[in-house]
Amino acid sequence: MRIDRYELYDVIASGGMATVHLGRLVGPAGFGRTVAIKRLHPHLATERDFVTMLTDEARVAGRIGHPNIVPTLDVVSSQGELFLVMEYVPGLTLAALLANAAEQRERMPASIACAIMAGVLRGLDAAHEARDEGGRPLEVVHRDVSPQNILVGTDGVARLLDFGIAKAAGRLHTTRDGQLKGKLGYMAPEQLGARTVDRRTDIYAASVVLWEALTGERLFEGDDAATIFGNVMQKKVPPPSARAGDVPVAIDTAVLAGLEREPSRRFSRAREMAAAIEQGAALARVSEIAEWVAQIGERELAERAAMLAGMGRPSPAAGASAPSIDSSEGILTAVGEARSAARSKRRSMWIGAASIALLGAVGFAGLRSLAGFPRNEAGSPASLATNTSPITAAQAPAHAETTTAAIESPPTPTVAPRPLEIEPGPPSSSAPSKTSPAARTGTGARPSTGRARPKSMVCDPPFTIDELGHKHYKVDCL
């Protein structure tokens, strides 16, 4: 599907309100960039509240620039729908990684879990501190921090995404009274109780995520919303080390402080909790996180790579008429065909030139061969070898002599050639002097054959010129 400057491809994530697709920005001169495009579900695309929510997300996320936040690049309205264009980050959500680890009977190492959540908390602090163009605080609260909204890239960096239900000063959409936003198991007590939410609400949710990443278990479970609600409000939370022995005591303290039901007892800023985690545990390096992601998410990452490789290729059903992802492809094909045609033309010209040169060489070789051949007993030139039988120069036509001489070299003479005698031509008053260039190269003296020349033979000039312009010496005039 083409929307403005973008092309929409496979679905890579789906939630209750929207799907996320692989996409590609198609620019001029073959420029392209892979992106992620969020699209509201069809039954919500006409709902004003949900459309406004997507617009709010773009406005809020567009003002936050941080390495641990997935940036929003563009908002596109097309065919009655609104699309949110985000930077594409190769990787998997924390939810997918935890599910894969459980299937493989593994648990995320504490060093990796702490490093991921320290980065997420740094990104949250940047969102909480975001300001508008006039420098006024936006007072952003994400309100949906969960494993599904944390993306861990193959580069080992964790990023927070989906500010769709974020609360911010100046946002266009105002939440309806009594309407819950977020996932129940990660919502703070004040959020469930419809009280005022602030940045400490996000710190609570991040603490729930860290507890689950460290233990590999769900913190607040239940068969229905009422059970989950009751657990959040009343369940006594055990320290993570009670479920995972590799969790340091300092991390227990930080997690339980973030999970305090009373907001005033929690960390006041996300960066304070991030600092406590960084000081309380040996964090995994980025390269170690990247290796773990590649190992645990190998299958999904391979499928994603196949999707990326197939972007822009015509589907089997579409056939040759399917549009290409790159508009320059047709231009490149035409250029290639033109170059091939030019090469063929040049090749033909070279072949023609080589043929002409070869014919000239053949004619020249034939003349030299005839001039230097030894005589047989009858006084005629020696036989020339051909593909069938020997033919003498006296029996063959002039042009046949030239062609035959080119086929085979003349036999090596066994008798030394006789000395040449110079014989002047017939007297003429206009004849040039013997010392002039014309006397040496013109129609005057020719080599003598040492035998009587028939009276009927005219040897001035001693050669003929055929229709091709080739010169052939008369045998009896040599």
Q: Does the residue 61 lie in any domain?
A: no
Residues 276 and 401 in one domain: no
Q: Does the residue 71 lie in any domain?
A: no
Q: Which of 289, 309, 329 is the last residue of a domain?
A: 309
Parent domain of 303: 90-309
Please report which helix (H) or strand (E) contains residue 72, including its range. strand 72-78
Q: Are 454 and 448 in contact (CB under 8 A)?
A: no
Catalytic residues: 144
Q: Are 244 and 110 in contact (CB under 8 A)?
A: yes
Rounded to 5 degrees, what angle do the CA atoms 331, 335, 340 make? 150
Residue 167: predicted pLDDT? 64
Q: Does the residue 15 lie in any domain?
A: no
Domain CATH code at residue 95: 1.10.510.10
Residue 124: predicted pLDDT? 95
Rounded to 5 degrees, what angle do the CA atoms 171, 177, 178 make? 125
One-letter amino acid of 34 = T
Residues 116 and 210 in one domain: yes
Number of domains into which the chain is organized: 2
Residues 255 and 361 in one domain: no
Q: Does the residue 40 lie in any domain?
A: no
* Residuewise pLDDT in 10s, the chain (478 residues): 888 889 989 888 887 778 899 999 987 777 888 999 988 887 777 777 777 777 777 777 777 889 999 988 888 888 878 888 989 999 999 999 999 999 999 999 999 999 999 999 999 999 999 887 888 888 888 988 999 999 999 999 999 988 766 665 544 444 444 445 558 899 999 998 888 889 999 999 999 999 999 999 999 988 888 899 999 999 999 999 999 988 999 999 999 999 999 999 999 999 999 999 999 999 999 999 999 999 999 999 999 898 888 886 654 443 333 333 333 333 333 334 444 444 554 555 555 555 555 555 545 445 444 444 444 444 444 443 434 444 444 444 444 443 333 334 444 444 444 444 444 544 444 444 444 444 444 444 444 444 555 545 567 777 777 766 777 777 666 6
Q: Does the residue 119 lie in any domain?
A: yes
Q: Does the residue 21 lie in any domain?
A: no
Q: Are 141 and 205 in contact (CB under 8 A)?
A: no
Q: Are 75 and 179 in contact (CB under 8 A)?
A: no
Q: Does the residue 446 lie in any domain?
A: yes
Residues 301 and 367 in one domain: no
Residues 149 and 264 in one domain: yes
Residue 75: predicted pLDDT? 85
CA distance 363 to 229: 106
Q: Which of 309, 329, 361 is the last residue of a domain?
A: 309
CA distance 206 to 375: 112
Residues 120 and 261 in one domain: yes
Residues 388 and 449 in one domain: yes
Residues 171 and 235 in one domain: yes
Residues 297 and 364 in one domain: no
Residue 170: predicted pLDDT? 45
Residue 79: predicted pLDDT? 80
Residues 271 and 397 in one domain: no
Closest C-alpha to 177, from 202, 204, 200, 196: 196
Q: Does the residue 377 lie in any domain?
A: yes
SS3 73: strand
Q: Are 373 and 411 in contact (CB under 8 A)?
A: no
SS3 177: coil
For 316-343, give one letter per residue: b (16+ CB within 10 A) or e.
eeeeeeeeebbeeeeeeeeeeeeeeeee
Cis amide linkage into residue 461, ω under 30° from 0: yes
Residues 104 and 249 in one domain: yes
Residue 355: predicted pLDDT? 54
Residues 346 and 451 in one domain: yes
Residues with Cβ within 8 Å of residue 436, at least 6 apart in sequence: none
Task: Look up the pTM and report it.
Answer: 0.63
Residue ranges of E strands in 106-175: 150-153, 158-160
